[in-house]
Amino acid sequence: MSKLVAPHGGKGLVCCLLHGSELEAEKTKAAGMKKVEISARVKGDLIMMGIGGFSPLNGFMTKADWKSVCENFTLADGTFWPVPVCLDAAKADADGIKVGDEVALVRNGELMATMKVTEKYELSEVEKKWECEKVFKGEGADSADDKFMKVALEDHPGVQMVMNQKEIILAGPVKVLSQGEYPAKYKGVYLTPAETRAMFEERGWANVAALQLRNPMHRSHEYLCKIAVEVCDGVIIHSLIGNLKPGDIPAEVRVKAIDCLVEKYFVKDNVIQAGYPLDMRYAGPREALLHATFRQNYGVNRMIIGRDHAGVGDFYGLFEAQTIFDKIPKPAAAGKALLCEPLKIDWTFYCFKCDGMASLRTCPHSKEDRVVLSGTKLRKMLSDGSAIPDHFGREEVLVILREYYQGLTEKVEVKMQSFASGEKMK
C-alpha cells in the first residue's frame, strides 16, 4: 500500500498516452482525419494528459467546465481545478468539424494526438476578458480595476495568450500519440508521474515537497529547498522545461545550473531533479494552485510557496499565492478536493548581520543589511552585464549563467518588479 498522496480526482493516474500496437493503429487512423494545428501551450497540456500529470482530465474542457473553473475553481462535476485547459483552433481548421468527429492534433508537422469532438464553441471578446479578470487579476498595483486590462494587454503574457486565442474552442477526450522532444532532449530529467512515484517509493519517501522553478536557482531557492528537506522526507526540484516568455533563461541552461548545485550543495539522497513539459501561464496565485494540483499527481503532498510565486510584473500581492490556498473550495466528495498543501515560507534573503540566509520570521535586522534575491533581478543583472552582489548566487552557477548570456546575440529587456529592490520589505 503506497504511503504517497493519491493522484488528484480519485481515479488514479489518468494516462491518455497510447503505446505499442494501439499507438501504431491510431497513427494509421489519424492519417485520414482532418488536421488541427495546435499552439505550444496546447502541446504541453496534451503531453501532461498523456502521462497522467493532469489527472483526472482526459481531454479538453467543455464550456461548462471552462466557466466553472474560472468562476468556482472546479470542473462542472465539482472536482477542484484552478485554470482552464482549452483547445483553441483557427476558424479555417475548425470549419466543417462537427460534434462526434475525430480530428488529428498536430504541432509544426508532428502528430501529437487525436481527439473526439464532443463540443464546439466560441469565446467572445467579452468572455475572454472575463476569463482574464477571473484567472489573471490579482491584488497588486497593476490589477487595480481602472488599469488591469489596459496594462495587462501590454505587459501580461498570460492575458495576451488568452486574448490572442484562435476563434474556435474544441472539447473532447484525447488519445496522445507523442511526448514530443522531451524524452530525448531531457533524458533523465523529464520524468512522468509514474516514474517520480516509483522513485519516491524506492527511497521510502511519504512526505514529499516540490520546488517550482522557471528561473535559475539562486541562494533563496536553495534555502527554500533546504527548509523543505528538513521537514519532509525529500524534495523534488521540478523545473518547467516547456516554453517561457522572451528573456527567460532556457531550460537546458537551468538544468545544468541545478545539476551543479545538487552535486555540490545537497545531500543527493534527499533531492531529485526533474522537469515537466508545460508552458508557463503566468497566472500567479491561480498558477500556484495548478502547480500544487499536478504535483499531487507526481506524488507530492507539499508545494513550496514563497514570495510572488509564478508572478509577473506587479499584478499580484507578494504572498497572494499563499493566501489563495486558504480561500479555495474543498469539495467533500472523495477525490475531488486538492490534497497537496502549501508549504508557506516567508520572504528569504542573505543577511550580513545574521551571516547567513534568513527570512522575515527569523531576521531582526534592517533591509539595508540584506541582499534581496529574485530570479528576475538576477536575469536583469546578467543581461545588463552588471556585477552580481556577494551571496546572491553560488559562483559555480554564475559561471554557467554568464557563459550563456555572453553567447547571446540579441538580448531582451527584463522588466523589474517593484519589490525586487526590497522596498516592500517590512
DSSP conformational letter for 386: P
- Quickly count: other Cβ atoms within 10 Å of residue 253's Cβ: 16
Q: In which residue are the cell numbers 528573456 written?
A: 247
User: Which residues, in sequence order, are CB contacts of 249 under 8 Å at separation 6+?
Assistant: 215, 216, 379, 401, 404
Report the chain's C-alpha Rg in angstroms: 21
- Transcribe 405-425 into DSSP letters: HHT-SS--PPPPPGGGGSTT-
Give the span between the Cα atoms of 80 and 103, in whole angstroms: 28
Catalytic residue selected from 41, 107, 197, 215: 215
Q: Which amino acid type is present at position 64?
A: A
Strand pairing of 59-60 and 168-176?
Answer: antiparallel
Q: In terms of DSSP H, where are the helices of 266-393?
A: 285-297, 320-323, 375-384
- Transcribe 89-156 into DSSP letters: E-HHHHTT--TT-EEEEEETTEEEEEEE--EEEE--HHHHHHHHHHHT--SSGGG-TTTHHHHHHHH-
- Residue 228 CA: distances (Å) to CA of 64, 66, 225, 350, 358: 38, 34, 5, 18, 14
And the C-alpha cell for 320? 497572494
Give the span between the Cα atoms of 207 and 200, in whole angstroms: 9
Catalytic residue selected from 107, 214, 286, 302: 214
- Quickly count: other Cβ atoms within 10 Å of residue 414's Cβ: 17
Q: Which amino acid type is present at position 331?
A: P
User: Does the annotation count 297 as an active-site position?
Assistant: no
User: Does the annotation count 215 as an active-site position?
Assistant: yes
Q: Which residues are registered as beta bridge partners of 175?
A: 114
Shortest CA distance to 378 belongs to which of 239, 241, 248, 210?
A: 248
For residue 327, the Cα-to-chain-centroid distance in whole angstroms is 20
Shortest CA distance to 141 belongs to which of 308, 315, 310?
A: 315
Give the catalytic positions in this structure. 214-215
